[in-house]
Chain A
Protein backbone atom coordinates (compact mmCIF):
# COMPACT_ATOMS: atom_id res chain seq x y z
CA UNK A 1 0.00 0.00 0.00
CA UNK A 2 2.79 2.32 0.99
CA UNK A 3 4.73 1.49 -2.18
CA UNK A 4 1.64 2.11 -4.26
CA UNK A 5 1.00 5.56 -2.81
CA UNK A 6 4.65 6.48 -3.17
CA UNK A 7 4.52 5.46 -6.80
CA UNK A 8 1.34 7.46 -7.18
CA UNK A 9 3.02 10.49 -5.64
CA UNK A 10 6.04 10.23 -7.91
CA UNK A 11 3.78 9.92 -10.94
CA UNK A 12 1.80 12.96 -9.81
CA UNK A 13 4.96 15.00 -9.41
CA UNK A 14 6.07 14.15 -12.94
CA UNK A 15 2.64 15.03 -14.33
CA UNK A 16 2.64 18.27 -12.39
CA UNK A 17 6.07 19.29 -13.67
CA UNK A 18 5.15 18.33 -17.23
CA UNK A 19 1.91 20.29 -16.99
CA UNK A 20 3.73 23.33 -15.64
CA UNK A 21 6.30 23.08 -18.46
CA UNK A 22 3.38 22.84 -20.91
CA UNK A 23 1.79 25.95 -19.42
CA UNK A 24 5.06 27.85 -19.53
CA UNK A 25 5.58 26.90 -23.18
CA UNK A 26 2.02 27.91 -24.04
CA UNK A 27 2.42 31.24 -22.29
CA UNK A 28 5.82 31.91 -23.90
CA UNK A 29 4.56 30.99 -27.38
CA UNK A 30 1.49 33.21 -26.97
CA UNK A 31 3.53 36.19 -25.79
CA UNK A 32 6.03 35.66 -28.61
CA UNK A 33 3.17 35.54 -31.14
CA UNK A 34 1.64 38.70 -29.68
CA UNK A 35 4.94 40.60 -29.73
CA UNK A 36 5.63 39.47 -33.30
CA UNK A 37 2.16 40.39 -34.59
CA UNK A 38 2.28 43.74 -32.83
CA UNK A 39 5.71 44.42 -34.31
CA UNK A 40 4.33 43.61 -37.76
CA UNK A 41 1.24 45.76 -37.28
CA UNK A 42 1.34 49.29 -38.53
CA UNK A 43 4.73 48.88 -40.20
CA UNK A 44 4.88 50.42 -43.65
CA UNK A 45 5.63 47.94 -46.44
CA UNK A 46 6.92 49.46 -49.64
CA UNK A 47 8.15 46.43 -51.59
CA UNK A 48 4.76 45.66 -53.07
CA UNK A 49 3.35 45.73 -56.59
CA UNK A 50 2.70 49.38 -57.52
CA UNK A 51 -0.67 48.69 -59.05
CA UNK A 52 -2.69 51.65 -60.29
CA UNK A 53 -6.07 51.70 -58.54
CA UNK A 54 -9.15 52.73 -60.48
CA UNK A 55 -11.52 54.67 -58.20
CA UNK A 56 -14.55 53.52 -60.19
CA UNK A 57 -13.96 49.89 -59.21
CA UNK A 58 -14.16 50.86 -55.56
CA UNK A 59 -17.30 52.93 -56.02
CA UNK A 60 -15.48 56.24 -55.60
CA UNK A 61 -15.64 59.27 -57.91
CA UNK A 62 -12.01 60.29 -57.80
CA UNK A 63 -8.74 59.98 -55.94
CA UNK A 64 -6.74 62.66 -54.14
CA UNK A 65 -4.62 64.98 -56.26
CA UNK A 66 -1.38 64.27 -54.43
CA UNK A 67 -2.22 61.15 -52.44
CA UNK A 68 -5.06 58.90 -51.34
CA UNK A 69 -5.34 56.97 -48.09
CA UNK A 70 -7.25 53.87 -49.14
CA UNK A 71 -8.60 52.03 -46.12
CA UNK A 72 -10.27 48.61 -46.17
CA UNK A 73 -12.67 47.84 -43.34
CA UNK A 74 -15.28 45.28 -42.41
CA UNK A 75 -18.38 45.54 -40.28
CA UNK A 76 -16.95 43.30 -37.62
CA UNK A 77 -13.70 45.13 -37.07
CA UNK A 78 -13.00 46.67 -33.71
CA UNK A 79 -10.07 48.87 -34.75
CA UNK A 80 -11.41 50.10 -38.11
CA UNK A 81 -13.38 53.10 -36.72
CA UNK A 82 -10.31 54.36 -34.84
CA UNK A 83 -8.14 54.10 -37.97
CA UNK A 84 -10.93 55.79 -39.94
CA UNK A 85 -10.78 58.79 -37.58
CA UNK A 86 -6.98 58.99 -37.80
CA UNK A 87 -6.91 58.78 -41.60
CA UNK A 88 -9.77 61.27 -41.98
CA UNK A 89 -7.94 63.73 -39.73
CA UNK A 90 -4.69 63.33 -41.68
CA UNK A 91 -6.50 63.79 -45.02
CA UNK A 92 -8.34 66.87 -43.72
CA UNK A 93 -5.11 68.48 -42.59
CA UNK A 94 -3.43 68.18 -45.99
CA UNK A 95 -4.21 69.73 -49.31
CA UNK A 96 -4.87 67.24 -52.12
CA UNK A 97 -4.97 64.19 -49.85
CA UNK A 98 -8.22 62.25 -49.69
CA UNK A 99 -9.37 59.34 -47.58
CA UNK A 100 -11.41 56.44 -48.91
CA UNK A 101 -12.85 53.82 -46.56
CA UNK A 102 -14.04 50.72 -48.41
CA UNK A 103 -16.23 48.25 -46.54
CA UNK A 104 -15.26 44.85 -47.93
CA UNK A 105 -17.77 42.95 -45.78
CA UNK A 106 -19.96 42.31 -48.80
CA UNK A 107 -17.19 42.65 -51.39
CA UNK A 108 -14.94 39.59 -51.13
CA UNK A 109 -13.92 40.29 -54.73
CA UNK A 110 -12.17 43.48 -53.63
CA UNK A 111 -10.65 41.75 -50.59
CA UNK A 112 -9.32 39.01 -52.84
CA UNK A 113 -8.02 41.45 -55.43
CA UNK A 114 -5.94 43.39 -52.90
CA UNK A 115 -4.96 40.25 -50.92
CA UNK A 116 -6.49 41.62 -47.75
CA UNK A 117 -5.98 39.20 -44.91
CA UNK A 118 -6.85 41.58 -42.12
CA UNK A 119 -8.80 44.75 -41.54
CA UNK A 120 -7.96 47.50 -41.22
CA UNK A 121 -5.52 47.46 -44.12
CA UNK A 122 -4.44 50.83 -45.50
CA UNK A 123 -2.86 51.53 -48.88
CA UNK A 124 -1.18 54.84 -49.60
CA UNK A 125 -1.68 55.80 -53.25
CA UNK A 126 0.29 58.50 -55.01
CA UNK A 127 -1.19 61.19 -57.26
CA UNK A 128 -1.46 58.72 -60.16
CA UNK A 129 -3.35 56.23 -58.03
CA UNK A 130 -0.42 53.81 -57.86
CA UNK A 131 -0.05 51.85 -54.63
CA UNK A 132 3.10 53.02 -52.85
CA UNK A 133 2.82 51.78 -49.28
CA UNK A 134 0.78 49.19 -47.46
CA UNK A 135 -0.09 49.12 -43.76
CA UNK A 136 -1.61 46.10 -42.07
CA UNK A 137 -3.30 46.94 -38.78
CA UNK A 138 -3.19 50.32 -37.11
CA UNK A 139 -0.70 52.83 -38.55
CA UNK A 140 0.38 55.65 -36.26
CA UNK A 141 -0.20 59.19 -37.38
CA UNK A 142 3.54 60.01 -37.43
CA UNK A 143 4.36 57.14 -39.77
CA UNK A 144 1.46 58.14 -42.07
CA UNK A 145 2.66 61.74 -42.21
CA UNK A 146 6.14 60.50 -43.02
CA UNK A 147 4.83 58.41 -45.92
CA UNK A 148 2.83 61.36 -47.26
CA UNK A 149 5.87 63.64 -46.97
CA UNK A 150 7.84 61.09 -48.95
CA UNK A 151 5.17 61.07 -51.65
CA UNK A 152 4.75 64.82 -51.93
CA UNK A 153 8.54 65.25 -51.88
CA UNK A 154 8.78 62.87 -54.80
CA UNK A 155 6.08 64.58 -56.82
CA UNK A 156 7.69 67.98 -56.13
CA UNK A 157 10.98 66.74 -57.52
CA UNK A 158 9.34 65.30 -60.65
Chain B
Protein backbone atom coordinates (compact mmCIF):
# COMPACT_ATOMS: atom_id res chain seq x y z
CA UNK B 1 0.00 0.00 0.00
CA UNK B 2 3.02 2.29 -0.07
CA UNK B 3 2.67 3.07 -3.75
CA UNK B 4 -0.51 5.08 -4.09
CA UNK B 5 -0.17 6.12 -7.72
CA UNK B 6 -0.72 4.30 -10.97
CA UNK B 7 1.55 4.31 -13.99
CA UNK B 8 0.28 7.73 -15.08
CA UNK B 9 1.09 9.20 -11.67
CA UNK B 10 -2.54 9.74 -10.72
CA UNK B 11 -3.70 8.80 -7.24
CA UNK B 12 -4.78 5.17 -7.39
CA UNK B 13 -7.60 5.65 -4.97
CA UNK B 14 -8.78 4.02 -1.79
CA UNK B 15 -11.10 1.20 -0.84
CA UNK B 16 -14.52 2.93 -0.65
CA UNK B 17 -15.54 0.72 2.25
CA UNK B 18 -12.88 2.35 4.45
CA UNK B 19 -14.57 5.77 4.74
CA UNK B 20 -17.94 4.06 5.24
CA UNK B 21 -16.52 1.98 8.08
CA UNK B 22 -15.06 5.14 9.63
CA UNK B 23 -18.38 6.95 9.14
CA UNK B 24 -20.13 4.12 10.99
CA UNK B 25 -17.90 4.54 14.06
CA UNK B 26 -18.24 8.32 13.85
CA UNK B 27 -22.05 8.01 13.63
CA UNK B 28 -22.08 5.81 16.74
CA UNK B 29 -19.93 8.30 18.68
CA UNK B 30 -22.13 11.18 17.53
CA UNK B 31 -25.29 9.34 18.60
CA UNK B 32 -23.79 8.80 22.07
CA UNK B 33 -22.89 12.48 22.10
CA UNK B 34 -26.44 13.55 21.17
CA UNK B 35 -27.67 11.39 24.06
CA UNK B 36 -25.19 12.99 26.48
CA UNK B 37 -26.09 16.44 25.20
CA UNK B 38 -29.81 15.80 25.72
CA UNK B 39 -29.40 14.40 29.25
CA UNK B 40 -26.92 16.96 30.64
CA UNK B 41 -28.36 20.35 31.58
CA UNK B 42 -26.48 23.34 30.20
CA UNK B 43 -23.78 24.48 32.67
CA UNK B 44 -23.97 27.99 34.16
CA UNK B 45 -20.34 28.99 33.49
CA UNK B 46 -18.01 28.51 30.55
CA UNK B 47 -15.79 26.25 32.66
CA UNK B 48 -18.76 24.07 33.61
CA UNK B 49 -19.92 23.85 30.00
CA UNK B 50 -16.40 22.97 28.82
CA UNK B 51 -16.24 20.14 31.37
CA UNK B 52 -19.47 18.44 30.37
CA UNK B 53 -19.05 14.94 28.93
CA UNK B 54 -21.04 15.86 25.81
CA UNK B 55 -18.64 18.73 25.10
CA UNK B 56 -15.54 16.62 25.72
CA UNK B 57 -16.75 13.78 23.50
CA UNK B 58 -17.65 16.18 20.70
CA UNK B 59 -14.23 17.80 21.07
CA UNK B 60 -12.63 14.37 20.59
CA UNK B 61 -14.83 13.79 17.52
CA UNK B 62 -13.81 17.22 16.16
CA UNK B 63 -10.13 16.36 16.65
CA UNK B 64 -10.68 13.06 14.81
CA UNK B 65 -12.31 15.00 11.95
CA UNK B 66 -9.31 17.35 11.93
CA UNK B 67 -6.99 14.34 11.80
CA UNK B 68 -8.97 12.99 8.87
CA UNK B 69 -8.61 16.29 7.02
CA UNK B 70 -4.91 16.78 7.73
CA UNK B 71 -3.70 13.22 7.28
CA UNK B 72 -6.38 10.82 5.98
CA UNK B 73 -3.86 7.98 5.62
CA UNK B 74 -3.03 7.88 9.34
CA UNK B 75 -6.51 8.68 10.74
CA UNK B 76 -7.34 6.06 13.39
CA UNK B 77 -10.55 4.55 11.97
CA UNK B 78 -9.03 4.22 8.52
CA UNK B 79 -5.96 2.55 10.01
CA UNK B 80 -8.22 0.25 12.05
CA UNK B 81 -10.12 -0.65 8.88
CA UNK B 82 -6.97 -1.45 6.93
CA UNK B 83 -5.39 -3.51 9.70
CA UNK B 84 -8.43 -5.41 11.07
CA UNK B 85 -11.34 -5.34 8.63
CA UNK B 86 -9.92 -5.17 5.11
CA UNK B 87 -7.83 -8.37 5.34
CA UNK B 88 -11.02 -10.33 6.15
CA UNK B 89 -12.97 -8.96 3.16
CA UNK B 90 -12.80 -9.57 -0.56
CA UNK B 91 -10.57 -7.10 -2.38
CA UNK B 92 -12.53 -4.01 -3.45
CA UNK B 93 -14.10 -4.13 -6.91
CA UNK B 94 -13.76 -0.35 -7.34
CA UNK B 95 -11.30 2.12 -5.95
CA UNK B 96 -12.53 5.59 -5.19
CA UNK B 97 -10.96 9.04 -5.13
CA UNK B 98 -9.59 9.91 -1.69
CA UNK B 99 -10.58 13.58 -1.95
CA UNK B 100 -14.37 13.39 -1.46
CA UNK B 101 -14.20 11.58 1.89
CA UNK B 102 -11.52 14.03 2.97
CA UNK B 103 -13.74 16.97 2.02
CA UNK B 104 -16.60 15.33 3.97
CA UNK B 105 -14.35 15.17 7.04
CA UNK B 106 -13.87 18.91 6.66
CA UNK B 107 -17.64 19.45 6.48
CA UNK B 108 -18.04 17.36 9.65
CA UNK B 109 -15.34 19.38 11.38
CA UNK B 110 -17.07 22.63 10.38
CA UNK B 111 -20.50 21.56 11.70
CA UNK B 112 -19.14 20.12 14.93
CA UNK B 113 -16.94 23.18 15.59
CA UNK B 114 -19.97 25.48 15.30
CA UNK B 115 -21.72 23.31 17.89
CA UNK B 116 -18.73 23.42 20.24
CA UNK B 117 -18.32 27.21 20.01
CA UNK B 118 -22.04 27.96 20.44
CA UNK B 119 -22.17 25.57 23.39
CA UNK B 120 -19.26 27.36 25.08
CA UNK B 121 -21.02 30.68 24.50
CA UNK B 122 -24.04 29.16 26.23
CA UNK B 123 -26.54 28.63 23.43
CA UNK B 124 -28.96 25.92 24.57
CA UNK B 125 -29.39 22.88 22.25
CA UNK B 126 -26.46 23.99 20.05
CA UNK B 127 -24.37 20.97 20.96
CA UNK B 128 -26.95 18.19 20.49
CA UNK B 129 -28.27 19.85 17.30
CA UNK B 130 -24.78 20.08 15.75
CA UNK B 131 -24.00 16.52 16.81
CA UNK B 132 -27.34 15.36 15.37
CA UNK B 133 -26.65 17.11 12.03
CA UNK B 134 -23.22 15.48 11.81
CA UNK B 135 -24.81 12.17 12.82
CA UNK B 136 -27.30 12.35 9.94
CA UNK B 137 -24.49 12.86 7.42
CA UNK B 138 -22.27 10.14 8.92
CA UNK B 139 -25.14 7.65 9.20
CA UNK B 140 -26.30 8.21 5.61
CA UNK B 141 -22.73 7.72 4.45
CA UNK B 142 -22.19 4.56 6.49
CA UNK B 143 -25.55 2.84 5.85
CA UNK B 144 -26.67 4.16 2.46
CA UNK B 145 -23.35 5.23 0.95
CA UNK B 146 -24.72 8.71 0.29
CA UNK B 147 -22.11 11.46 0.19
CA UNK B 148 -23.74 14.65 1.43
CA UNK B 149 -20.35 16.36 1.30
CA UNK B 150 -20.13 15.89 -2.50
CA UNK B 151 -23.52 17.47 -3.02
CA UNK B 152 -22.73 20.29 -0.62
CA UNK B 153 -19.50 20.90 -2.51
CA UNK B 154 -21.40 21.32 -5.77
CA UNK B 155 -23.97 23.64 -4.21
CA UNK B 156 -21.30 25.80 -2.55
CA UNK B 157 -19.37 25.91 -5.77
CA UNK B 158 -22.47 26.84 -7.77
CA UNK B 159 -23.18 29.61 -5.28
CA UNK B 160 -19.66 30.89 -5.94
CA UNK B 161 -18.45 30.32 -2.39
CA UNK B 162 -15.67 27.94 -3.38
CA UNK B 163 -13.87 26.95 -6.55
CA UNK B 164 -12.68 29.02 -9.46
CA UNK B 165 -14.90 29.85 -12.36
CA UNK B 166 -13.42 29.44 -15.77
CA UNK B 167 -15.48 31.47 -18.17
CA UNK B 168 -16.44 29.73 -21.35
CA UNK B 169 -14.99 31.26 -24.48
CA UNK B 170 -18.38 32.20 -25.87
Contact = CB atoms under 8 A, between A and B. Distances in A.
Interface of A: 12, 15-16, 18-20, 22-23, 26-27, 29-31, 33-35, 37-38, 57, 74-79, 81-82, 85, 104-109, 111-112, 116-119
Given A77-B100, A82-B94, A108-B160, A18 B38 contact: yes
Contacts of B158: 108, 111-112, 116
14 contacts: A15-B38, A22-B38, A26-B34, A26-B132, A26-B135, A37-B144, A78-B19, A79-B145, A81-B97, A105-B163, A108-B160, A111-B158, A116-B154, A118-B154
Interface in B118-141: 128, 132, 135-136, 139-140
B147 A19 contact: no
The B contact surface, by secondary structure, is helix
A19 B96 contact: no
Contacts of A105: 157, 163
A34 B100 contact: no
B163 A106 contact: yes
A81 B153 contact: no
B151 A78 contact: no
Contacts, number: 112
Contact of A23 (B16, B31, B103): B31
Contacts of A82: 94, 96
Interface of B: 13, 16, 19, 31, 34-35, 38-39, 94, 96-97, 99-101, 103, 128, 132, 135-136, 139-140, 143-147, 149-151, 153-155, 157-158, 160, 163-168
A81 B11 CA distance: 13
A16 B146 contact: no
Nearest to A119: B154
Q: Considering the complex of A and B, which 6 residue pairs feature the smallest CB-CB distances, nearest first?
A: A19-B38, A34-B144, A78-B100, A106-B166, A76-B100, A118-B151
Nearest to B16: A78
Given A34-B143, A78-B16, A106-B163, 4 more contacts: A35-B144, A78-B150, A81-B94, A118-B150
A118 B150 CA distance: 8
A81 B100 CA distance: 12
A79 B147 contact: yes
Contact of A108 (B101, B140, B163): B163
Nearest to A20: B35
A119 B167 CA distance: 21
Given A34-B140, A117-B155, A22 B99 contact: no
Given A78-B100, A107-B166, A108-B160, A37 B140 contact: yes
A82 B93 CA distance: 10
Contacts of B165: 106-109
Contact of B135 (A18, A30, A35): A30
